[in-house]
């Protein structure tokens, strides 16, 4: 006799996303038992439970994980979009004090509560595409107070919606105007004041750096990574997005959770990733929106068995998309990924990119009951049809959120 559960999802066709092709193949009709927010039973036999929800043969996947977003910001960059359509490049706009710095100005003026409020409609877009965990970066504050304000605004989203928020400090996103010509001094502020305070107050679990000609160089990135490790935080990088500086290999060397963007990554960089557990996170929304032509090295990543994640990179400048399944579609059409790769990219591999692969991103006994129930029958549906949502419900830590 099965043990008694708090909740049973009956007649589910489970896409477990466990390793191997069986993880992608929908199971025969089965029953998922949930107790105390965890998956406690997976059975072909009906389960004893306090409450039962009949899935009526619908697909059940792990809740999707958006492992790279800049969800918290104020202001709009619609004017910049128009400029870019007239031919002004992204880097040029950044050099003229627009781009990231225009969002910094608006974000500094907003209160923590305003930032949370502004983010809710964007978050709702993600939730409608099955997201149950979202990573959110700071990086539009660039002072101690404003970076902390952003991280707190991100965490506060959990009080408004059923979702897990994972926060990342990205104080090294751009050089704040008041530090113009003094990048090393700003990096010192990040390493000696911002990181220690963020670690002490447990405001973030990871530290990210924009390692790029319009961001920070390799030596500065390494200083930030070292400080992060010293304070017990994990690292990740915005690397090889617009050029090849070697930031990905550096991220891997510091045991990074993920190297993100990576359009300009070469084989050496891919090898560096393959030697660690660092995930390659692809951000097709930014590639599309910036009309990039340099393709990330998908075939090399496959050859060297580097886990690939897919994320929205939701931000006002390069990826204004609050839709994770749209990114799966772009991953297939723009990068040539298979629907199976994109589904792993928003479940098990995305969990790995956030250091949570032991508890989220798969449907397994002992894993958290973060699930999505879909009115769909084929596992390629998620990356295939867009704009007519098929989500029936999400469960976060075993709690229902019906659509
Ligand atoms: O991931 N690459 C740097 N950061 C963001 C863009 C942020 C912005 O333009 O506001 C990105 O693409
Ligand atoms: Fe980003």
CATH number of 5-63+362-401: 2.30.40.10
Q: Which residue has the tokens 């907003």?
A: 110
How many angstroms separate the alpha carbon of residue 69 from the centre of ligand 2?
6
**What local confidence, expressed as pLDDT, does residue 315 receive?**
98
CA distance 34 to 9: 8
**What local confidence, expressed as pLDDT, does residue 21 receive?**
87
Sign of the alpha-carbon torsion through 83, 88, 93, 94: positive
* Percentage with pLDDT > 70 across the chain: 100
How many angstroms separate the alpha carbon of residue 318 from the centre of ligand 2?
8
DSSP state of 319: B
Residues of the chain with CATH 2.30.40.10: 5-63+362-401
Question: Is the predicted pLDDT of residue 174 greater than 60, yes or no?
Answer: yes
Q: Nearest 10 degrees: CA dihedral of 45, 48, 51, 53?
A: 0
Note the pLDDT tens digit of each residue in 14-39.
999 999 889 999 999 999 999 999 99
pLDDT interval class at 95 (50, 70, 90): confident
Find the helix or strand (DSSP H, E) in which 105 lies: helix 100-109
- DSSP output for 208-262: EEEESTTSB-HHHHHHHHHHHHHTT-EEEEEESSSS--SHHHHHHHTT-SEEEE-
CATH architecture assigned to 64-353: Alpha-Beta Barrel (3.20)
Q: Which residues are annotated as a binding site for 4-imidazolone-5-propanoate?
A: 77, 140, 173, 241, 318
Are 219 and 246 in contact by the 8 Å Cβ rule? The answer is no
Query: What mean pLDDT do residues 187-211 have?
Result: 98
**What local confidence, expressed as pLDDT, does residue 91 receive?**
87
Question: Is the predicted pLDDT of residue 106 greater than 90, yes or no?
Answer: yes
Question: Is the predicted pLDDT of residue 278 greater than 70, yes or no?
Answer: yes
Residue 372 structure tokens: 């999505």
- Among the residue ranges 78-92, 192-206, 256-270, the one predicted with the least confidence is 78-92
CA distance 169 to 156: 16
**What local confidence, expressed as pLDDT, does residue 227 receive?**
98
**What local confidence, expressed as pLDDT, does residue 189 receive?**
98
Using most ligand atoms within 8 A of CB, pick from 174, 209, 210 the residue to mutate for ligand 1.
210
CA distance 96 to 150: 25
CA distance 227 to 234: 10
Sign of the alpha-carbon torsion through 88, 326, 102, 143: negative
Query: What mean pLDDT do residues 371-376 have?
Result: 97
How many angstroms separate the alpha carbon of residue 173 from the centre of ligand 2?
9
Q: What is the mean pLDDT of the chain?
A: 97
Query: What mean pLDDT do residues 113-125 have?
Result: 98
Q: Which ligand 1 atom sits closest to the C-alpha of 170?
A: 4
Nearest to 193, CA basis, from 231, 162, 156: 231
Q: Which residue has the tokens 């469960």?
A: 395
Q: Which ligand 1 atom sits closest to the C-alpha of 90?
A: 9
Q: Which ligand 1 atom sits closest to the C-alpha of 316?
A: 10
**What local confidence, expressed as pLDDT, does residue 403 receive?**
80
* 166 Cβ closer than 6 Å to some ligand 1 atom: no
Sign of the alpha-carbon torsion through 173, 178, 180, 183: negative
Question: Is the predicted pLDDT of residue 2 greater than 80, yes or no?
Answer: no
Question: Is the predicted pLDDT of residue 1 greater than 80, yes or no?
Answer: no
Residues of the chain with CATH 3.20.20.140: 64-353
How many angstroms separate the alpha carbon of residue 242 from the centre of ligand 2?
12
Question: Is the predicted pLDDT of residue 333 greater than 70, yes or no?
Answer: yes
Note the pLDDT tens digit of each residue in 133-146.
999 999 999 999 99
Q: Which residue has the tokens 């990179």?
A: 313
pLDDT interval class at 97 (50, 70, 90): confident
Sheet of 131-137: strands edge to edge?
Answer: 64-66, 131-137, 164-172, 206-211, 234-239, 258-261, 279-282, 308-310
- Among the residue ranges 55-64, 88-97, 261-270, 314-323, the one predicted with the least confidence is 88-97
Nearest to 260, CA basis, from 304, 224, 212: 212
For ligand 2, an ion, list residues with CB under 5 A: 313
Are 28 and 12 in contact by the 8 Å Cβ rule? The answer is no
């Amino acid at each position: 006799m099965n043990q008694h559960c708090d909740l049973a999802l009956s007649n589910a066709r489970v896409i477990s996303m466990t390793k191997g092709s069986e993880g992608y193949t929908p199971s025969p009709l089965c029953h998922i038992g949930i107790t105390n927010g965890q998956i406690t039973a997976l059975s072909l036999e009906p389960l004893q439970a306090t409450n039962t929800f009949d899935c009526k043969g619908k697909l059940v996947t792990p809740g999707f994980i958006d492992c790279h977003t800049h969800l918290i910001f104020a202001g709009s960059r619609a004017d910049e979009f128009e400029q870019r359509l007239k031919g002004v490049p992204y880097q040029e706009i950044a050099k003229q004090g627009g781009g990231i710095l225009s969002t910094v100005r608006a974000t500094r003026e907003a209160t923590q509560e305003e930032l949370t409020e502004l983010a809710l409609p964007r978050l709702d877009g993600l939730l409608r595409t099955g997201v149950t965990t979202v990573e959110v970066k700071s990086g539009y504050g660039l002072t101690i107070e404003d970076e902390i304000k952003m991280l707190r605004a991100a965490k506060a989203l959990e009080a408004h919606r059923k979702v897990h928020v994972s926060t990342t400090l990205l104080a090294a996103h751009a050089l704040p105007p008041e530090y113009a010509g003094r990048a090393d001094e700003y990096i010192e502020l990040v390493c000696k004041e911002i990181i220690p305070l963020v670690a002490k107050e447990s405001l973030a679990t990871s530290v990210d750096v924009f390692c790029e000609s319009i961001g920070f160089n390799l030596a500065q990135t390494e200083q930030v990574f070292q400080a992060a490790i010293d304070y017990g935080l994990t690292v990740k990088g915005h690397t090889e997005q617009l050029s090849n500086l070697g930031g990905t290999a550096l991220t891997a060397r510091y045991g990074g959770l993920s190297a993100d963007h990576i359009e300009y990554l070469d084989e050496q960089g891919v090898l560096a990733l393959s030697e660690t557990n660092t995930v390659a996170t692809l951000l097709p929304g930014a590639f599309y929106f910036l009309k990039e032509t340099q393709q990330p090295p998908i075939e090399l990543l496959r050859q060297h068995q580097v886990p690939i994640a897919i994320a929205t990179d939701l931000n006002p400048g390069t990826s204004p998309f609050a839709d994770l399944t749209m990114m799966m579609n772009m991953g297939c059409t723009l990068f040539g990924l298979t629907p199976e790769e994109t589904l792993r990219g928003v479940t098990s591999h995305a969990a790995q990119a956030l250091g949570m692969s032991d508890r989220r991103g798969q449907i397994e006994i002992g894993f958290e009951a973060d699930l999505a129930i879909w009115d769909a029958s084929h596992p390629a549906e998620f990356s295939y049809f867009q704009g007519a949502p098929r989500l029936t419900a999400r469960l976060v830590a075993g709690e229902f959120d019906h659509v």
